[in-house]
Structure 1
Amino acid sequence: MISAARPLLITNVRLSDDPSGQPVSVSVAGGRIEAIGPKLANLAPPPAAIVEDGGGALLLPGFVEGHTHLDKTLWGQDWYVNEVGPNLTDRIANERAFRKTSGHDAGVQSLALSHAFLAAGTTRLRTHVDIDTDAGLRYLEGVLATRDALAEVLDMQIVAFPQSGLLIRPGTGKLLDDALAAGADVLGALDPALIDGDPVGSLDATFALAERYGKPIDIHLHEPGEIGAFTFKLLLDRVEALGMQGRVVVSHAFCLGALPEPTALLERIARLRVALLTSAPPSRPVPPLKRCRELGITIFGGNDGIRDTWTPYGAPDMLERAMLIGMRYDLRRDDDLAAAFDCVSAAGAQGCGFADYGLHAGARADLVLVDADTLAHAVVARPVRKLVVANGRIVARDGVLAE
């Protein structure tokens, strides 16, 4: 059973950035980390405290899923036979038809996948939710119900996302307005040039709506090469003109991996504090991870879709996603694998704007224990999560969600 937010003392754990391997303890109260250190185990725990022996496990912060689609998933359902065509528009049309006719329930499915994320150590999550002229706000309502149900343990941001385009489907703008009024945290957008066919008009409409509600923006930008770079520059113009520095994420950004010389664009992205999200797909160009980090660009990771009509791949395991990021970017050294983990931890929290993150006094008590020698070992081996604490509550043991 998921515990109430009682005082908690976890003893005999190791910190990944301490080469001495000296055991430490973590004290938690009111959902926050009170202290971390080697001497806490000698103190008498407060009355009614839960005391856990970590057994020498590695202590990690709760993981961050920076980009997924909870409303679409078929997680836990029968296998979906994927016969969709190869183009982005094929996938969009196929999904619209499936969701119209299958009775797919975004509330039930988003809850199932959220539970799986929690059991695997994810405590902060950003999900895009389709806002659609066929379904209206139905998918949003389902995910809002999941967010409410798990509010004490899963810090969830919802992006109102026009999966079928904004300008090309009249009425979508009004639905996005309604979605933000109903509780969506972030305004989404999609390929202003290649889907909407009007990058200036599409971006103007997106930024105007975000400005009206004071919301950040997270845009899917699949557009390749020079087309994507053109759209990116238009977006950066608006970030600068409207003072949106630090409030915009560009997801995927395939164009940055295809340009022969992206340095000038990357430097402007860094200057305007636009963050980048990558799922590190093996089949598409990806933003240059190390160069972005050198320039101070926040680049973080996410699964994108998980087991849906778009893709049979994906799993609610951010250690696996960190491993896939490592493989895609040819990260082999232990310090490089630490950068891959950063994409699903601190950088993810920074990119999404999740507050009070990390392993320090005052941070929200989101903790994961794994049996691993080092952080690199944890990323590569992806051991079962021995214990997961979310907002000071024990939510899973040995990979199984507490009931």
Structure 2
Amino acid sequence: MNIILKQARLPSKDKLQDIQIIDGRITKISEHIHDRTGLSINVKNKLVTPGLIDAHMHLDKALLSESYPNKSGTLEEAIKVMGAAKEDFTVKDIIKRATKVARMALINGTTTIRTHVDVDPIVELCAMEALLKVREAMRELLEIQVVAFPQEGLTNQKGVYELLDKAMNMGADVLGGIPAIDPKPKQHIDQIFELSMKHDSDIDMHIDESDNPKDFTIDFYSERISTDKSERKFTAGHCCTLSLVDDNQARAVIDKSVNSGLNFVTLPSTNLYLQGRNGYPRRRGLTRVNELDKEGANIFYASDNIRDAFNPFGNANMMETGLILAHAAQMGGIEDFRKIIEMATSRPSKALGKKNYNIKQGNEVPLVVHDASSFQDLIIEHKKPLYVINNGRIIVDNGKIIG
């Protein structure tokens, strides 16, 4: 299919550009393209970006906040409530909820999702089976990367190591972890590294989502990464306690983490809601976003939980989440808005193993035509996109999936 977007505003160009896409590949970018053989759409000065990447979600748990409420709003109760909810999980139910949220995300311009999926003695491989089916069913619309995630712990849960191994054999893409809740956090990390080497998989861990500064596993995680000689990619989500330690301790571990190549994903909506509930002065709950960015870390953001016991909010809208980040991390300058777009596109693309994820001639990259003409308007108004183009065709047209 031949598609030409006329009069598009690109992040990297001062003047409006025409973009030609033939069979999914950008074949030409120019101020004027005169080819009359394709489908021509005048986007009238609207901003065009690569497809948005939501690099940390929990599709298996989504849309359960009314059925399984978290009355205290704490992380501890969220884990307990979801443990009870998982007793009732079925493959059919998970597919229904996960598909609904994935479609919400697509309508909002997201073309890649990385979802953590619980693997534990309660749910066993039920959620994994469901998400692998959703991944396959939606393959032509958007990419879903599946993380095998031991939510309840690893060394304290008999059989979880074997379940994670089976999940990877079933087709999970990435290994997850959550060492801070494990009674043996270093052993937890060691076992995940052992499994990841066996399956040659990337690692994406929940790191130090806690209000206790003693939960500081990022230091050991970074050490393990620094000794790894493979080409695998490593990501740390949350990293909340990095904001609870003093500047000297934080600076030392940031330097170590950046040198190791660790990727960081902050989850502003969930951590603003869950963290800092035990008295005053209250903490924002986020990691040190600005310090990590200043020191050269590849840091980006994601939605995390959508309307479940961990977070009763969320619309699977990355620009809405970007606005929440802008408030929480005090990112209000013009360059900050540009950076927030990068944190939803080019930055997570590196952590997820995508190459050439930008709008350049010759690249095969999903495109989003936003209903905004500036970075500032895009984030503050976070309207639904006008078009989403993926795999060489228009799959979302003015808020409706047509692919």
Task: Calculate the TM-score normalised by the size of structure 2.
Answer: 0.90
CA distance in 2, matches of 1:348, 1:25: 26
Contact 2:239–2:286 (CA under 8 A) maintained in structure 1? yes
Q: Distance in 2 between the 1:346 and 1:246 partners?
A: 18
- In the other structure, the counterpart of 2:52 is 63
Change (3 A) 1:134 1:327: same
Select the residue among 84, 87, 100 that pairs with 1:97: 84
Q: Per-residue deviation at 1:114? A: 0.9
Pair 1:360–1:164, CA change in 2 (3 A): same
For residue 135 of structure 2, the aligned residue among 147, 163, 172 is 147
Equivalent residue in structure 2 for 1:43, among 35, 48, 60: 35
Instruction: Spell out, residue by residue over 1:206-240, the C-alpha distance to the aligned partner (whole angstroms, 9 max, x if none).
Output: 111111111111111114564233x2221122112
Amino acid at match of 1:44: R
Q: Which secondary structure does the structure 1 equivalent of 2:300 belong to?
A: strand
Q: Which runs of 5+ in 1 are unaligned?
A: 1-5
Instruction: Name the residue aligned to 1:109.
Output: 97
Is residue 242 of structure 2 the alignment partner of residue 250 of structure 1? Answer: no
Q: Alignment RMSD, CA only?
A: 2.0
**Does the Cα contact within 8 Å between 1:356 and 1:362 map onto a contact in 2?**
no
Tell me how far apart the structure 2 counterparts of residues 378 and 85 of structure 1 sit (CA, whole Å).
34
- Give 1:326 deviation, angstroms: 0.7
Q: 2 CA distance for matches of 1:251 and 1:162?
A: 14
Is the Cα–Cα contact under 8 Å of residues 25 and 364 in structure 2 kept in the other structure? yes
Could you tell me whether the CA contact under 8 Å between 1:129 and 1:139 is conserved in 2? yes
Count of equivalent residues: 387
Counterpart residue type for residue 269 of structure 1: S
Native 8 Å contact 1:245 1:272 kept in 2: no
Aligned counterparts of 1:196 and 1:132: Cα–Cα separation in 2: 13
- Describe the superposition over 1:6-34 as per-residue Cα deviations: whole angstroms up to 9, x where unpaired: 22222121123434xx3311111222222
8 Å contact from structure 2 (residues 89, 126) kept in 1: no
Change (3 A) 1:125 1:56: same
Deviation at 1:83, TM superposition (A): 4.0
**In the alignment, is residue 54 of structure 1 matched against residue 47 of structure 2?**
no
| 1:3 aligned partner | none
Alignment of 1:307-326 (within 5 A): 307-326=307-326
Aligned to 1:32: 25
For 1:167-200, what per-residue CA distance to the aligned partner results, in whole angstroms no more than 9, with x for missing partners? Answer: 111011100000111111110001x24x211122
Q: TM-score, normalised by structure 1?
A: 0.90
Match of 1:240 among 216, 222, 226: 226
How many Å apart are 1:382 and its aligned residue?
1.1
2:28 counterpart letter in structure 1: A
Structure-2 change in CA distance of 1:216 and 1:365 (3 Å):
closer
Instruction: Indicate the residue corresponding to 1:266 in structure 2.
Output: 254
Which amino acid is 2:148 matched to?
A: A
2:142 and 2:254 map into 1 onto residues whose CA distance is: 33
Aligned-partner SS, 1:9: strand
Measure, in 2, the Cα distance between the counterparts of 1:101 and 1:81: 11
